Amino acid sequence: MRTAIDRAVAALVHRAPGLLLLRIGLALMFIESAIDKALNYSIYVGDAAAAGVPFAQFAVLAALVVEVIGSLALVTRIATVPAFLLLATYTIVVNVFYFDFWSMDGRDAVMARKEFLKNVAVASGILLALAWITCADRMKRGD
Other CB atoms within 10 A of residue 62 CB: 12
* Per-residue pLDDT, 78: 83
Tell how far CA 13 is from the center of its chain.
19
* Per-residue pLDDT, 21: 80
* Per-residue pLDDT, 16: 58
* Per-residue pLDDT, 32: 95
Burial class (CB in 10 A: 0-12, 13-18, 19+), 113: middle
Q: Give the C-alpha separation, 29 to 140, whole Å.
A: 30
- Helices 4-15 and 106-141, axial angle in degrees (round to 10): 110
Handedness of CA 51, 53, 58, 61 (dihedral sign): negative
Q: Are 70 and 93 in contact (CB under 8 A)?
A: no
Give the angle subtended at the CA of 127 by the CAs of 15 and 17, to the nearest 5°. 20
**48-to-25, 45, 77 alpha-carbon distances in Å:** 26, 5, 30
Over the chain (143 residues), what is each successive 10-residue block's mean pLDDT? Answer: 65 62 85 96 95 93 95 85 90 90 93 94 88 73 65
Give the angle subtended at the CA of 134 by the CAs of 139 and 61, to the nearest 5°. 165
Q: Give the C-alpha separation, 90 to 16, whole Å.
A: 28
